[in-house]
A and B are shown apart, each in its own frame.
Chain A
Amino acid sequence: MKKGKIYLSGPDRLRKDAKEQFEKKKELCESYGFELLEYPCDIYINKDTYDNNVALAKKRLKMIEDCDILIGDVNDFRAYVEPFGETALEFGIAYGFGKKIYGYMKDARNCAQRYSGEKTFDEENKRWTDKDGIGFEPGPVNLMLEYGGKIIEGDLEDALKLAGKEWEFYVHR
């Protein structure tokens, strides 16, 4: 069976132990029969020039084009009920390239349920809003991400389990 290539998207590349985590994730992906493409552990390129950053971004764009599956960490990041911006961008890129897309999050209740602040139901627009009148998405993440990919409650391994099942079906079809 053809081995599926995975592109991992998420803020973990910004952690101090990004490199070690990558090795662990690589093993985990392999245990489900996938190959993990090597993403940059950004801590080393932080101070790099703008041009080098553009070159790296182009390389990563090519990686997404070459992968079979994109798996993204869509947990809230530096905002309430919003994931890491780069992951949202990469979801869109992968969608444009026609890839299979999965997103995992610890708490996949809908946005309004996850929001701990004051909220009211806006009858006219049939949606919950926060105290400033800003509307919430109906699902656990923005509509584009929810329908552009599959959102799974859990962690990377849970996403891999589903991806593994669907990949087998997809390859044997």
Chain B
Amino acid sequence: MFIDKNGVVRKPVVYLADFEMFLPTCEETVACWKKTCEKYGFIGLFPGDGDPVEPGEDFWKRVFLHDYNHMKNCDMCIAQLDDWRGHECDSGTAFELGWYIAKGMPAYGFYGGKSPLKERNIEKDEHDPSFDKNGYMIEDKEYPFENMFTLVKIGKDFEEACRLARADFDAILVKNGYEPYAVE
């Protein structure tokens, strides 16, 4: 439950920004996330949900629009920011998370890897270990990502991200005279 922009108390629809669609384990993971959403009073929406995009001309552009339409129909976002193909998060997921930030909508992330950045196994400059081998500084902060990611709260896993969102929504519910949501 949350209070939407029209003042209606209802279950928020969560856009599951993630890179699971590239993985063979996608179906199980997404099913598990959706269950966790239910537990916290959310409705999970996976980018691949709904009618499949028809093959043909401009297929990938239509996939983009399909996902973007899903984003517009959601109330908030939880983004999977785990390491992807190296020491960075998935760029499509980060893009989607950024869109929610710009819209001023609730946005959360989760990251199960090592934090801060310097704890990660990044190849360092041999003379100055605060830089990587290509001359880019490795940030040394109590935070797993670069500066702009401090705009969102980040949990250790999907469930913690749900808990963070739940706590924020409950605080607003209570402030407006409603009961907090009873997590099953």
Contact = CB atoms under 8 A, between A and B. Distances in A.
Interface in A126-150: 133-139, 141-148
B38 interface: no
A144 B135 contact: no
Contact of B136 (A14, A88, A93, A97): A14
Nearest to B22: A135
B37 to A, nearest CB: 22
A106 B89 CA distance: 21
B22 to A, nearest CB: 4
Contacts of B88: 77-79, 82-85
B148 interface: yes
A85 B61 contact: no
Interface in A33-74: 40, 42-43, 45-48, 50, 53-54, 56-58, 60-61, 64-65, 74
Contacts of B84: 79, 82
A147 B140 contact: no
Given A92-B101, A93-B101, A134-B23, A85 B149 contact: yes
A141 B148 contact: no
A64 B151 CA distance: 14
Given A88-B92, A88-B94, A89-B94, A61 B101 contact: yes
Given A60-B147, A89-B148, A79 B86 contact: yes
B147 A148 contact: no
A144 B92 contact: yes
B95 A88 contact: yes
A61 B100 CA distance: 12
A91 B98 contact: yes
Which one of A60, A94, A96 has the highest number of Cβ atoms from chain B below 10 Å of its Cβ? A96
A161 interface: no
Interface in B31-66: 60-61, 63-64
B91 A83 contact: yes
A47 B95 CA distance: 26
Contacts of A53: 141, 143, 147, 150
Interface string A88-121: 1111111111000000000000000000000000
A93 B98 contact: yes
Interface in B129-184: 130-132, 135-137, 139-143, 145-151
B54 to A, nearest CB: 13
Contacts of B23: 133-135
10 contacts: A42-B147, A57-B151, A78-B132, A82-B91, A85-B145, A88-B89, A96-B101, A143-B63, A146-B64, A147-B64
